[in-house]
Amino acid sequence: MTSAGTTYTCRWCNITSAGATTSCPGCGAPVDIRARVSDSGWVELPAIRDMARIQFGQSSAQVAGTWVPTVDMNLAPGDSVYFSHHVLLWQDAQTQLGTQPLKGGWSRMMAGLPLVMMEATGPGHIAFSHDDPGEVVAVPLHPGTALEVRENHFLVATQAVTYDWAQSGVWFTTRNGDDTEWHYPVGQYIDRFYAQSTPGLLFLHARGNSFVRHLAQGETILIKPPSLLYKDPSVGMQLHVEYPRAGAATFWRSWGNRYLWLRLWGPGRVAIQSSYERMEDPGSGFSSTSGHTEYAW
């Protein structure tokens, strides 16, 4: 029984609520489960319960489904959200759709990023989903905070959140005959979301399960580059290469027996997803990189 005056602070988003519901109204995380922390310190993001509601302003979002969850938004008059057009699932006929201008259209097209950022304005319902089994991750952004998200994981955000994108800064080149081939282990660009003066809400889609950990100042971790979901801007990242021990046959090093890692260092949060696409590595030697470290076992 919840007595009057009881408050509950969500351990995921730090938003305080009455605690009268089974889910946090700020991020949808269940309120009555313990944190699941692996021995190594990764915290499993709790899956948002089926039909959990998240409130933002006069509007609300409901997460429905478990395999490929959908975000079903009930937009109040005048409230709006923006999204990439390929995640739109359905909408009420009365919901108004428009587009948002995006800078660098040519660069985005060349990088395989969506060209169109759409905007939906209430009143009305509109729903979104991604085309992979996984989880919807709701990230409330407090005023003055930002988040960097790996490209193609953004689902929808409220208007209080500004969107920008920048070079990821992690790349290497290889030679193929006379041609130079460019490789971007975490994508060429990274999405940046920022809540300026009012709180905002950001929905991401993670493939598989998602885990988060807080890196202390100077603490590092190596992750597979495509597994990155999001990170705080304060977390640095760089390419790291390991060459396994190959005995006398050290020439193997020159044709591909290597591991490509993303080195992340704190302070700040970093989130990963358990399912990710295969990373293409031609195996040939680097001709140039964005800066990397290496270690031979």
Partner 1 sequence: MTQGDTRFQTSADPSANERRPMTDVSQRIECQWCHSQSAVGSRSCETCGAPLDIKNLVSDSGWKEAPRLRDMTEIHFGSSTCQVEGEVVPVAEINLGQGDAIFFEHHVLLWKEESVAMSVMQTPGGAKRAFAGMPFVVSVANGPGRVAFSRDASGELVVLPLHPSMELDVREHAFLLASHTISYSFIRIQGLRNILHGGEGMYMDRFVTNQVQGLLVLHGYGNVFERTLGAGESILLEPGAFLYKDSSVTMDVEQMKLKTGMIGHTNLYLARMTGPGRVGIQSMYVHHGSE
- Kindly list the residues in this chain that would bind partner 1 in the complex (CB under 8 A): 50-51, 53, 60, 62, 64-70, 72, 74, 85-93, 97, 99, 102, 105, 114-116, 118, 125, 127, 129-133
Nearer to partner 1, 70 or 227 (CB): 70
DSSP state of 132: S
Q: How many CA atoms lie within 13 A of 216 on its CB side?
A: 2
Instruction: Enter the DSSP assignment of 40.
Output: T
Sheet holding 43-44, edge to edge: 43-44, 210-215, 268-273, 228-231, 146-150, 189-195, 161-167
Q: How far apart are CA 182 and CA 185, in angstroms?
A: 10
Nearest residue (CB) to partner 1, 154 versus 194: 154
- Identify which of 117, 119, 97 has the alpha carbon closest to the alpha carbon of residue 105: 117
| 127 vs 137 by CB, closer to partner 1 | 127
Instruction: Give the type of residue at 12.
Output: W
Count of CA atoms in the C-beta half-sphere (13 A) of 240: 17
Q: How many CA atoms lie within 13 A of 28 on its CB side?
A: 30
- Provide, rounded to whole angstroms, the least separation between the CB of residue 52 and partner 1: 11
State the nearest-atom distance from the C-beta of 116 to partner 1, in Å.
5
Q: Compare residues 15 and 88 and give the one whose CB is closer to partner 1.
A: 88
Quote the distance between the C-alpha of residue 109 and its chain's center.
Answer: 20
Tell me whether residue 94 or residue 180 sits nearer to partner 1 (CB atom).
Answer: 94
DSSP SS3 for 245: coil
Nearer to partner 1, 71 or 223 (CB): 71
- Beta pairing, strands 52-56 & 59-64: antiparallel
